[in-house]
């Protein structure tokens, strides 16, 4: 099943153009307007001229204030920064602490051992759907993505897998993609993320860290996405209810984004 195109980049982790993903009914996602990635703290325009040439107008940072302070973005030429902090009302949750957990095998074991790692991440995905703060962040992100003047838009969190993964899922669902297509794109980032975390995971394991914990926190798993989708369905009856009741997106924004995303295959 087709997933987003990886964009070669030397200094940006997990950079992907969502354009080209098949949406059904001979439609596909428009290319070159919505890109996802990990954080831009190491971006170097001189080393990554191809990235600079993408013409990014807006970078949407989904990270917490602490993450932004520790590793501030380096913006592509001409881009503006827009902050949409998904976990601002609960900054201690796992996606914002992956690097810290990998640096502390004993602490990771106490918090995430005995199978708790996957459960904690699944619950975090529910929070990303149910939390008012997260809803405000995703509303701001979608309003930005719907503005033609803001595109191309690059959106990211730390490694581009959890907060970014749900953001990408929302865009695809709004554009008419099936949940199977959404799931395929959600899981497709795993090789890039494993590569990005490879050295840290190796140090974690050499220090006695649990490999099950490492895999649960650096990968995305089907259960994580299903936890978010289930929360959306249970609380709001599906995507439309979530967009209108939780995110409170104006109908005009929803219609404009849907119309702009899908183009003939």
CATH classification of the domain holding 34? 3.90.190.10
Helices (H), 42-146: 49-52, 65-70, 98-102, 105-112, 116-130, 132-145
Q: What is the pTM of this model?
A: 0.94
For the chain, the domain total comes to: 1
pLDDT recorded at residue 92: 57
Q: Who contacts 97 (Cβ-Cβ below 8 Å, separation ≥6)?
A: none
> How many angstroms separate the CA atoms of 167 and 163, rounded?
6
- Reading the block at residue 8, the tokens are 């070669």
Tokens 């967009």, residue located: 243
Residue 115, domain extent: 5-264
> How many angstroms separate the CA atoms of 216 and 120, rounded?
10
pLDDT recorded at residue 198: 87
> How many angstroms separate the CA atoms of 60 and 4, rounded?
18
> How many angstroms separate the CA atoms of 5 and 256, rounded?
24
The DSSP output letter for 154 is E
Mean pLDDT of successive 10-residue stretches along the chain, which has 265 residues: 88 96 89 97 94 95 93 96 90 66 79 83 93 96 98 96 97 96 97 90 88 89 97 98 97 95 90
């Amino acid at each position: 099943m087709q997933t987003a195109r990886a964009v070669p980049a030397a200094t940006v982790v997990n950079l992907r153009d969502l354009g080209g993903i098949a949406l059904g009914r001979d439609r596909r996602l428009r290319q070159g307007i919505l890109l996802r990635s990990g954080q831009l703290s190491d971006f170097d325009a001189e080393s990554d001229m191809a990235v600079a040439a993408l013409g990014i107008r807006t970078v949407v940072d989904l990270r917490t204030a602490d993450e932004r302070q520790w590793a501030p973005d380096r913006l592509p030429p001409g881009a503006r920064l827009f902050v949409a902090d998904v976990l601002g009302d609960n900054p201690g949750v796992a996606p914002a602490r992956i690097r810290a957990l990998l640096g502390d095998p004993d602490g990771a074991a106490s918090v995430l051992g005995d199978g708790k790692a996957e459960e904690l991440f699944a619950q975090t995905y529910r929070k990303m759907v149910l939390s008012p703060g997260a809803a405000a962040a995703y509303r701001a992100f979608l309003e930005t993505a719907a503005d033609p003047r803001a595109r191309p838009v690059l959106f990211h969190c730390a490694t581009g897998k959890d907060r970014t993964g749900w953001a990408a899922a929302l865009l695809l669902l709004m554009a008419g993609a099936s949940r199977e297509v959404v799931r395929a794109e959600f899981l497709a980032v795993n090789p890039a993320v494993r590569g990005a975390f490879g050295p840290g995971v190796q140090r974690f394991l050499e220090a006695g860290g649990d490999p099950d914990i490492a895999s649960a926190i650096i990968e995305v798993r089907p259960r994580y996405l299903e936890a978010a989708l289930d929360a959306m369905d249970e609380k709001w009856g599906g995507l439309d209810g979530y967009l209108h009741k939780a995110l409170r997106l104006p109908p005009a924004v929803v219609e404009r984004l849907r119309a702009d995303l899908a183009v003939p295959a």
